[in-house]
């Protein structure tokens, strides 16, 4: 069965500093990996995905994520954090192509402090 772990419930970072939100996954086949962001009282918004190819994936709002197969990780990164990046971030995985459901991690709350 596929699963996702986000080991940190909360990440605090100063504005302008780099940020990392961690994610590890478990699948039996090839992983399809996603990051979503949720702002207060809003639905989840797609940030980026890894399907195949380059291990460094670039997404919306300056975010990127690095796929590491040996460590089964897909950490979300941004070189310089903004206060407006403060939100809840979800990592998700599916192990089949197409439109099968996503399995989400518990989420990591990111707080960027001015």
The site for other proteins (CB under 8 A) is made up of: 32, 34, 36, 41-46, 49, 51, 90, 98-99, 101-107
The residue among 86 and 104 lying less far from other proteins, judged by its C-beta, is 104
CB of 18 to other proteins, least distance (A): 26
* b/e code 31-56 from CB counts within 10 Å (16+ = b): bbbbbbbeeeeeebeebbebeeeeee
- Identity of the residue, 25 or 81, whose beta carbon is nearer to other proteins in the bound complex: 25
């Amino acid at each position: 069965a596929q699963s996702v772990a986000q080991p940190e419930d909360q990440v605090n970072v100063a504005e302008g500093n780099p940020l990392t939100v961690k994610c590890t996954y478990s699948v039996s086949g090839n992983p399809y990996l996603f990051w979503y962001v949720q702002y207060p009282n809003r639905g989840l918004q797609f940030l980026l995905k890894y399907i195949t190819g380059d291990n460094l994936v670039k997404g919306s709002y300056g975010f990127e994520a690095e796929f590491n197969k040996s460590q089964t990780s897909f950490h979300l990164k941004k070189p310089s954090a903004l206060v407006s990046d403060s939100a809840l971030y979800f990592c998700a995985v599916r192990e089949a192509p197409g439109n099968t459901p996503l399995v989400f991690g518990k989420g990591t709350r990111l707080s960027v402090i001015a």
